[in-house]
Structure 1
Amino acid sequence: MAASVSVMPFLRRSCTFLKCFPTYAVRIQCASRKPWEPPKHPIDYLATRPLDTTIYENDITKENEELLKEWNIKKHQYDTSPLKEAPWEKGEWVPKSKRTGLVGMKLGMMRLWNKEGEPLATTVVQVLENTVLKYESPQEYKYSSKRGNYAALTVGSKNIPPDSRDRSYIELFKGTGVPVKDFLATFTISENAKLQPGTPLFASHFRPGMKIDVCGKTKAKGFQGVMKRWGFKGQPASHGATKTHRRIGGLGGGGSPSRVWPGKKMPGMMGDRWRWKYNLQILRINTKHNLLYIAGTFPGFKYDFCKIKDSQITPLTTAPPFPTFSPDLDEPLDEDLYADQIFKFSDESIKYEEEE
């Protein structure tokens, strides 16, 4: 359908219904209607002009601009400091202690080699600006009774501008002195592993060779049938089967229960769920850029957030950095830390014996 567009100037004083529209409006004239016929309703065929939200230099004077900058700095830097209280006492590690986890960003995959020359597939994760946001005691944590009477720590990752989220999310950071974070995660901990809000977390929280559990979001696959979603065998391919090759078959309701039991495996949405992968090993740690090189793969796209914590399958036998690594209190570490079986490119790979 062809159409012609013309611009008509309106006076806001003439019509009360045009007060909500800008001074200029666009009248779209369809070819199906004669050009001399008036529209059925005055508001028909009107499209408002996009508002101009550009901030010009003449709108704010230089004095007011400097005042706004000073006020913005004071608002974000001199907020309630998380270190207004005295530092909390450092707990002692016992074999059944449970530390907090970290929030990482998946960067991709690369290869490492062991000392026998075999390649190992690793996933690189960056621990990006992790900070403790909140501590909840076992009495305050609402899921404590369901999770072994543990406490909880909320950890945030990646600083973002405050105006990039809604007000309800910004209220979580009000009065904490912690910048607004892009992603939040809650980890259950033992009481002796509590950390003061505002404490930064680094990749040195772990050590090479440690076993960890990683949680990532699986790939969304949409609505799928039972054969793809649950691995069902399907119906016979021949011998009288008609349009039931990939169907679920009987649901097992029958006459006795007369209903389908809750949790029955049926077609539905597949993927886009948080899933844990257990007992992965850390092969290398870069302390300068907070990088973790984790053996194998786990769910998640590139640049997706993931949650990392100590493995539940392989408990720790030696004391790790407890409750976390602190650059001010602990001994400084090398830039690159490797597991025992990983080959370092700074070492010699081939040795020749000297002939007598």
Structure 2
Amino acid sequence: MKGIIGRKVGMTQIFNDKGDEIPVTVIEAGPCPVVQVKTVERDGYSAAQIGFDTIEKKDKNKVTKPRREHFAKANVKPLRYLREFPLENGDEVKEGDTVTTSIFEGVDFVSITGVSKGRGFAGVVKRYGFGGAPATRGSHEHFRHPGSIGMCEYPGRVLAGTKLPGHFGAENVKTLNLHVEKTYPEKNLLLVRGGIPGPNGGMVLIERSDRRKKAVVGDTKAKFVNPLKASKRGGR
């Protein structure tokens, strides 16, 4: 399995062997029962559908009848979240199995996907980091405005994709190459360095990172090149 579903618990700090303080995010990862296994012969691709967060009996009315039958077929309790992860060569899973943080043993980096915090309606300064207009020199009630968004004759309209005020946040965000500091399979906890998207209690997807940062080979000190003289040497 390449990944697992989890819940962001919050942030704390740990100390390494050298006594350095490391900020980490605590994630409750799994356990995730396998609800369905998809095969190339039947579905056209190979993947495993796993679930997270068991729905209590008092909330059973929130689960539709087709979905209840889907869970009953795998002999698992109704779950709040369902996600698919591709299966790799050699992965052997079947319906009813449980995926835990043990899949990250020996893994140094993970990528985490979550829904960012919703900030509501925001202007361009907060939403996109615009600098705003000058505070003096004739500015009048025009300090945090975006400025010109189009000309009158051409294009005669506001182009699609123009950065304007609007809803800020509540978007899918993926953070790459987060270092795994510690795993606690017996407690279903995963500690990663730094922050991750979303609020405390939000659902996240944790995947083994495939896009690793390229290691620097050789001398790490970059040679300074004067840009005023580089053109005379042909850019060397």
Q: Give the TM-score range, shorter chain.
A: 0.7 to 0.9
Among 210, 214, 217, the alignment partner of 1:312 is 210
What do residues 210-260 of structure 1 show as CA deviations (whole Å, max 9, x unaligned)? 100011221111000011001111122111122221111111355333332
Q: Contact between 1:129 and 1:159, CA under 8 Å: does it hold in 2?
A: no
Letter in 2 for 1:240: G
Q: 1:111 to 1:243 in 2, by over 3 A?
A: same
Task: Find out whether 1:161 has 2:56 as its counterpart.
Answer: yes
**What's 2:187 paired with?**
289
**Aligned partners of 2:10 and 2:87: how far apart in 1?**
29
**What's 2:31 paired with?**
129
Q: 1:118 to 1:242 in 2, by over 3 A?
A: same
**What's 1:220 paired with?**
118
**What's 1:301 paired with?**
199
**Aligned partners of 2:34 and 2:53: how far apart in 1?**
12
What do residues 196-219 of structure 1 show as CA deviations (whole Å, max 9, x unaligned)? 222210111102551000112211
**What's 1:120 paired with?**
22
Give the C-alpha shift of residue 129 in structure 1.
2.6
Matches for 1:56-75 after TM superposition, within 5 Å: none
Task: Find out whether 1:181 has 2:79 as its counterpart.
Answer: yes
Q: Contact between 2:101 and 2:189, CA under 8 Å: does it hold in 1?
A: yes
> Could you list the runs of 5+ residues in structure 2 that have no partner in the other structure?
214-236
Task: Find out whether 1:240 has 2:138 as its counterpart.
Answer: yes
**Aligned partners of 1:280 and 1:293: how far apart in 2?**
10
Matches for 1:1-356 after TM superposition, within 5 Å: 99-137=1-39, 151-161=46-56, 163-167=60-64, 169-190=67-88, 192-193=90-91, 195-207=93-105, 210-252=108-150, 254-314=152-212
Q: Contact between 1:209 and 1:283, CA under 8 Å: does it hold in 2?
A: no
SS of equivalent to 1:170: helix
What do residues 308-330 of structure 1 show as CA deviations (whole Å, max 9, x unaligned)? 00113228xxxxxxxxxxxxxxx
> Could you list the runs of 5+ residues in structure 1 that have no partner in the other structure?
1-98, 145-149, 316-356
Percent identical across equivalent pairs?
27
Letter in 1 for 2:16: N
**Aligned partners of 1:191 and 1:102: how far apart in 2?**
17
Letter in 2 for 1:223: F
Letter in 2 for 1:215: T
**Aligned partners of 2:104 and 2:36: how far apart in 1?**
21
What do residues 72-121 of structure 1 show as CA deviations (whole Å, max 9, x unaligned)? xxxxxxxxxxxxxxxxxxxxxxxxxxx43101122222222122111111
Q: Contact between 1:207 and 1:282, CA under 8 Å: does it hold in 2?
A: no
Give the C-alpha shift of residue 192 in structure 1.
5.0
Give the C-alpha shift of residue 166 in structure 1.
3.7
Paired residues, what number?
Answer: 210
**What's 2:232 paired with?**
none
Q: Contact between 1:100 and 1:187, CA under 8 Å: does it hold in 2?
A: yes
Q: Which has the higher contact order (CA 8 A, sep 6+)?
A: 2
Q: 1:175 to 1:253 in 2, by over 3 A?
A: farther
Letter in 2 for 1:118: D
Q: Contact between 1:137 and 1:191, CA under 8 Å: does it hold in 2?
A: no
**Aligned partners of 1:264 and 1:310: how far apart in 2?**
35
**Aligned partners of 2:102 and 2:49: how far apart in 1?**
19
Q: 1:261 to 1:129 in 2, by over 3 A?
A: same
Q: Contact between 2:119 and 2:167, CA under 8 Å: does it hold in 1?
A: yes
- Further displaced range: 110-119 or 182-191: 182-191
**Aligned partners of 1:156 and 1:113: how far apart in 2?**
33
Give the C-alpha shift of residue 135 in structure 1.
3.0
